């Protein structure tokens, strides 16, 4: 696997997070309908993206600490177990955090998005990409060879760029869907899609952990 694979994976995961209504576009549409303004939809998306980015950054920062303290293979297996366990838990108990009402400001939306992304394990899905970085982690290697496999955990510019690519893709997809729903589809037709995507989300987390474990 190459660096292109890594950047492409970050962008695809960003698009997937942007597609998931739990990550914010559904809330933005509801706010827009309340205000009867497409501008309100767009205004809600930047703080939602910021909260998402903060959640991702925190998760990756914790991973970086573990990377500095643990052998890479141990860390990879621990992360794989965490992903699989979290995915199974989300399948068994698919609950959504509830916090703010409909009268919210920039800070409220940022905090809400941070909590939602964290509760749904958005950052966890990126951990395999950050661990593999620009190359895979062969099972027979260890030590410095493994350390070189995850440059995104040891380089601040690459770390920031990776989070940025993921977040910008998520924002672009969220904005596109939110505007389409607001102007064309409406909220009533999306109730079933919310439930389906929750299950896909949980299965995707389990799959990420399984790939990393293998």
**pLDDT by residue, tens only, the chain of 214 residues:** 456 778 888 999 999 899 888 788 888 888 888 888 889 899 999 999 999 999 999 888 888 777 767 666 666 777 777 778 877 876 777 555 555 555 567 888 888 888 878 877 788 888 888 776 644 454 444 444 444 555 666 677 888 888 999 999 999 999 999 999 888 876 665 555 554 556 666 777 777 778 767 6
Q: Is 72 exposed, middle or buried (0-12, 13-18, 19+ CB in 10 A)?
A: buried
CA distance 153 to 78: 16
Could you tell me where the DSSP H helices lie in the chain? 3-19, 25-35, 38-69, 72-92, 106-119, 127-132, 144-147, 156-180, 191-213
What backbone torsions phi and psi does residue 6 show, to the nearest 5 degrees?
A: -65, -50
- Quote the pLDDT of residue 91: 74
- Quote the pLDDT of residue 152: 65
CA distance 138 to 149: 9
Longest dimension (CA), the chain: 59
- Quote the pLDDT of residue 134: 45
pTM of the model as a whole: 0.73
- Quote the pLDDT of residue 174: 94
- Tokens matching residue 191: 């109730």
- Quote the pLDDT of residue 188: 60
């Amino acid at each position: 696997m190459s660096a292109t694979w890594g950047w492409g994976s970050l962008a695809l995961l960003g698009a997937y997070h942007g597609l998931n209504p739990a990550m914010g576009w559904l809330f933005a549409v509801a706010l827009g309908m309340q205000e009867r303004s497409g501008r309100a939809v767009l205004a809600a998306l930047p703080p939602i993206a910021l909260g998402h980015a903060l959640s991702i950054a925190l998760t990756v920062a914790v991973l970086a600490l573990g990377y500095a303290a643990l052998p890479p293979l141990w860390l990879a297996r621990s992360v794989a177990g965490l992903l699989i366990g979290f995915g199974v838990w989300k399948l068994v108990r698919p609950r959504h955090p509830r916090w703010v009402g409909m009268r919210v400001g920039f800070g409220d939306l940022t905090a809400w998005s941070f909590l939602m992304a964290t509760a749904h394990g958005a950052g966890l899905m990126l951990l395999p990409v950050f661990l593999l970085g620009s190359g895979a982690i062969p099972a027979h290697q260890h030590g410095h060879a493994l350390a070189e496999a995850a440059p995104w955990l040891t380089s601040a510019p690459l770390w920031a760029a990776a989070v940025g690519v993921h977040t910008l893709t998520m924002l672009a997809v969220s904005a596109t869907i939110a505007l389409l729903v607001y102007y064309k589809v409406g909220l009533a037709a999306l109730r079933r899609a919310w439930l389906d995507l929750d299950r896909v989300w949980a299965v995707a987390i389990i799959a990420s952990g399984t790939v990393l474990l293998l």
